[in-house]
Amino acid sequence: MSDVMLAIGTRKGLFLARSAGGGAFEVEPIRFSTVGVPSVAIDTRTATPRLLAGIEYGHFGPSVTYSDDLGATWQEARQAPVAFPEKTGATLTRVWQLTPSPSEPDVVWAGAEPAALFRSEDRGVTYELVEGLWEHPHRELWQPGGGGLCLHTIIPHPTDPRIMGIAVSAAGFYRTLDGGVSWEAANQGIRAPFLPEGQQYPEFGQCVHKVGMHASRPDRLFLQHHFGVYRSDDFGGSWHDVGASLPSDFGFPIVVHSSRPDTAYVLPLRADMDRTPVDHHLRVYRTDDAGASWHGFDRGLPEPPVHATVLRDAMTASEAGVYFGTRDGEVYASRDDGESWSLVAGHLPDVLSVRAAVL
């Protein structure tokens, strides 16, 4: 089996874990100790992988740093890598997402708070604001979710750089078909039950928690809403609810299997203020039929009662397996499509982001 690298961003530092030939993971010493790491990426598009980390220096503000030697050393642009132009009057609060483009070799996308999209053309060293989204007429009406007004999900089309989707909490899902020049709200069919009766299917204002896509079937998207799990078969043109057989349709992450576009994973939580696993029983739910049915798996996960939450970017699925991290600092791995789980690391700080790649 191939070697696997796991990047784990936490409230107080970055952890890298490696598995050689399918063996146990070895967790390396902490990087950026005491620094928050809300976003991580492992860019394997070239022979030399590049690690990217969105970090929070506290008083000195957020930034993006990168490593071309698998985390041994880190570099940062001379000036702030992600910054709003002065004319916007905005100040960067957090880099929520770092996403290498699958169709443009040197492009990396960054999602920020306040909600904005940035584009890098030097593999994530420096970034420029995508003004087409920033100037959208809806933007001034967007309202923040519980985590802030954050652009937390970026879905680039695997082959067509003109097409991309993004999700903003709590504005909803937006898409562009012309390379970011113009954007349209794409939330038809997503119910917002927290709005008054008769206004629960707005053009925008939905609290989208996460969106997932499979590269072999890019028109199909899976979406975890504040209340509801949805699927679209036309890249967000319309959505329908596929969460009826789940014990709860509230949760944060949703990820799609690396090679099976009908297979997706969620972690249901008690809605909406409790935000702990249903019945305090930690189970990962998987669908193999695009949401028609879901089945829970818990082999290898801790026995009830469990009170840990899994955040929106703390779960990932790739050719390296399925992984998630909890707010009580535990990281779990599955190499059999979620049927069973093993502990990668424990006693870490609050896990914010997880990414995995085959090296």
pLDDT, tens digit (0-9, with 9 covering 90-100), for 300-342: 999 999 999 999 999 999 999 999 999 999 999 999 999 999 9
DSSP string computed for 252-308: S-EEE-SS-TT-EEE--B-TTTT-SBGGG---EEEESSTTS--EEE-BTSPPSP---
Classified as helix, coil or strand, 48 is: coil
The two tokens of residue 88 are 């916007």
Q: Which pLDDT does position 136 carry in this prediction? A: 98
The two tokens of residue 187 are 């939330």
Q: What is the mean pLDDT of residues 134-138?
A: 98
The two tokens of residue 209 are 């928690």
| The dihedral sign for the CA sequence 210, 44, 288, 329 | negative
Q: Which pLDDT does position 271 carry in this prediction? A: 87
Q: What's the CATH number where 277 sits?
A: 2.130.10.10
Q: What is the mean pLDDT of residues 144-170?
A: 97
Q: What is the mean pLDDT of residues 140-162?
A: 96
In whole angstroms, what separates CA 20 from the centre of its chain? 26
Q: What would the pLDDT profile of 103-132 be if each residue is shown by its tens digit?
A: 999 999 999 999 999 999 999 999 999 999
Other beta carbons within 10 angstroms of residue 48's beta carbon come to 10
Give the CA diameter of the chain: 56
Q: What would the pLDDT profile of 63-90 be if each residue is shown by its tens digit?
A: 999 999 999 999 999 999 999 999 999 9
For the chain, how many structural domains are there in total?
1
Classified as helix, coil or strand, 156 is: strand
Q: What would the pLDDT profile of 229-250 be if each residue is shown by its tens digit?
A: 999 999 999 999 999 999 999 9
**Taking 60 as the threshold, does the pLDDT of residue 1 lie above it?**
no
Q: Which pLDDT does position 220 carry in this prediction? A: 97
First to last CA, the chain: 11
Q: pTM for the whole thing?
A: 0.97
The single residue listed with the structure tokens 């028109």 is 219
Residues 6+ apart with CB under 8 A from 330: 302, 308, 343, 345, 346, 347, 348, 351
Distance, CA of 147 to CA of 341 (rounded, Å): 29
Distance, CA of 261 to CA of 73 (rounded, Å): 36
Distance, CA of 184 to CA of 290 (rounded, Å): 25
Distance, CA of 274 to CA of 278 (rounded, Å): 10
Give whole-number Cα distances, 83 to 99, 118, 203, in Å: 17, 9, 29
Which amino acid does the sequence have at 327?
R
Domain that holds residue 276: 4-358
